[in-house]
């Protein structure tokens, strides 16, 4: 049993933070940021805007795109690591915001930047088990909650935003979420983690080295598992952490750069929202078309990493 994508939507906060804005508040330059990361802009949520606000806005747009209401959804899975509240889950709060009245289940997945792949993995399993007909997958993050403007090596890297995808059960195994693989290595905790005072602790160069090997590794694994090669894939949407990581991964896999969806230049790293936002962006802009096969590799804090294959 498989699935098919029947709706998508995204939400980005109004405020755009440029590299030039960073130049005014810390010892950095547009040139350094662009050269090391490929980032130009990122969106910053307003102080009173919460992760739930971002998630609910993206979810509402996905429902509108699908021509559905929240009560047509049987389960909500939300990838997020930046909720202001420890409980309840952002997923349940989204149900409340959108006026759900069916008592359908909702929960969050805390997979950091690999969160949306973990969420896709869950959705695939529920479809395979035949347990739910329609699943909404949300990726939502307010990464600015964790930014320390005294730490120039991390402050410039992240942005806020949310995306939502709606999948419906299908008897075809060749559409929607076709395959997923997720992995974790807790021994690499020190490389990248949140701190008790809600900051980001990251060894940038070590994280970079892991990212350029783990994302291609997950991508190769899933292609092999599905019995396909890079030639069969129409688009690759890598986790949008850094343009150099994306380009290096593509080179290792033998993917031409024209097959890669890039949003890191305008959204920066939105962690668990990144791939969902990037897919919504590519669909909205007619970059990805119906019937195309997408390879979705990601990595993040944990370390966690994985990949998904999706046919639109």
Ligand X SMILES: CC(C)(COP(=O)(O)OP(=O)(O)OC[C@H]1O[C@@H](n2cnc3c(N)ncnc32)[C@H](O)[C@@H]1OP(=O)(O)O)[C@@H](O)C(=O)NCCC(=O)NCCS
Select the residue interacting with ligand X from 83, 207, 240, 270 (CB under 6 A): 207
- Closest residue to ligand X, based on beta-carbon distance: 204
Task: Show the binding pattern over residues 141-170: x = contacts ligand X (CB under 6 A), - = does not.
Answer: -----------xx--x--------------
Cα separation of 117 and 181, whole Å?
8
Q: Could you say whether residue 78 binds ligand X (CB under 6 A)?
A: no
Instruction: Dig out the tokens for 3 from the structure.
Output: 């699935």
Helix (H/G/I), strand (E/B), else coil: 189 = helix
One of 269, 270, 280, 304 touching ligand X (CB under 6 A): 269
Contact (CB, 8 A) for 237 and 191: no
Instruction: Classify burial at 41, counting beta carbons within 10 Å of its beta carbon; exposed 0-12, middle 13-18, buried 19 or more.
Output: middle
Please tell me the total number of residues recorded for the chain in this structure: 312
Q: Give Cβ neighbours of residue 141 (< 8 Å, ≥ 6 apart).
A: 51, 54, 80, 81, 82, 160, 161, 162, 270, 271, 272, 273
Query: 239 an active-site residue?
Result: yes
Minimal distance in Å, beta carbon 105 to ligand X? 28
Rounded Cα distance between 94 and 59, Å, is 8
Helix (H) or strand (E) holding 124: helix 115-128
Per the residue annotation, which of 121, 169, 239, 267 is the catalytic one? 239
CB of 235 to ligand X, least distance (A): 20
The 3-state DSSP class for residue 183 equals strand
Tell me, by CB under 6 A, how many residues bind ligand X.
20
Q: Does 67 engage in binding with ligand X (CB under 6 A)?
A: no
Work out which of 56, 100, 113, 165 binds ligand X, going by CB under 6 A. 113
Question: Which residue, 36 or 97, is less far from ligand X as judged by CB?
Answer: 36
Query: Pick from 144, 152, 193, 202: which is nearest to 30 by CA?
Result: 152
The stretch near ligand X (CB under 6 A) out of 81-89, 142-150, 198-206, 279-287 is 198-206
Contact 63, 7 (CB under 8 A): yes
Residue with smaller CB distance to ligand X, 105 or 204: 204
Please give the backbone phi and psi of residue 279, each rounded to the nearest 5 degrees, phi first.
-65, -45
Q: Which is nearer to ligand X, 104 or 269 (CB)?
A: 269
Question: Does residue 204 bind ligand X (CB under 6 A)?
Answer: yes
User: What residues act catalytically?
Assistant: 113, 239, 269
| Contacting residues toward ligand X, per CB under 6 A | 28, 32-33, 36-37, 113, 152-153, 156, 192, 202, 204-205, 207-208, 211, 241-242, 269, 300
């Amino acid at each position: 049993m498989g699935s098919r994508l029947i709706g998508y939507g995204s939400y980005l906060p109004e405020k755009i933070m440029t590299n030039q804005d960073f130049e005014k508040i810390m010892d950095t330059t547009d040139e350094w940021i662009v050269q090391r990361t490929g980032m130009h802009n990122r969106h910053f949520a307003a102080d009173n805007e919460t992760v739930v606000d971002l998630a609910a806005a993206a979810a509402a747009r996905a429902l509108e795109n699908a021509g559905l209401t929240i009560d047509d959804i049987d389960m909500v899975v939300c990838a997020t690591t930046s909720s202001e509240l420890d409980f309840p889950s952002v997923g349940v709060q989204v149900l409340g915001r959108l006026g759900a009245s069916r008592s359908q289940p909702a929960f969050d997945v805390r997979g950091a930047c690999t969160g949306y792949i973990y969420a896709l993995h869950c959705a695939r399993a529920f479809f395979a088990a035949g347990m739910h007909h329609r699943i909404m997958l949300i990726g939502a993050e307010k990464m600015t909650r964790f930014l320390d403007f005294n730490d120039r090596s991390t402050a410039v890297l992240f942005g806020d935003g949310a995306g939502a995808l709606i999948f419906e059960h299908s008897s075809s195994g060749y559409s929607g979420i076709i395959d997923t693989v997720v992995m974790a290595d807790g021994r690499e905790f020190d490389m990248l983690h949140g701190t008790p005072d809600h900051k980001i602790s990251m060894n940038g160069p070590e994280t970079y080295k892991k990212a350029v090997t783990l994302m291609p590794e997950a991508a190769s694994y899933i292609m092999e598992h599905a019995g396909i090669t890079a030639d069969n894939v129409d688009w690759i949407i890598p986790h949008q952490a850094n343009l150099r990581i994306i380009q290096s991964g593509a080179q290792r896999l033998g993917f031409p750069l024209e097959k890669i969806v890039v949003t890191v230049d305008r959204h920066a790293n939105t962690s668990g929202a990144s791939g969902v936002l990037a897919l919504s962006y590519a669909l909205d802009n007619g970059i990805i078309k119906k019937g195309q096969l997408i390879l979705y590799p990601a990595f993040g804090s944990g370390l966690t990493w994985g990949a998904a294959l999706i046919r639109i």
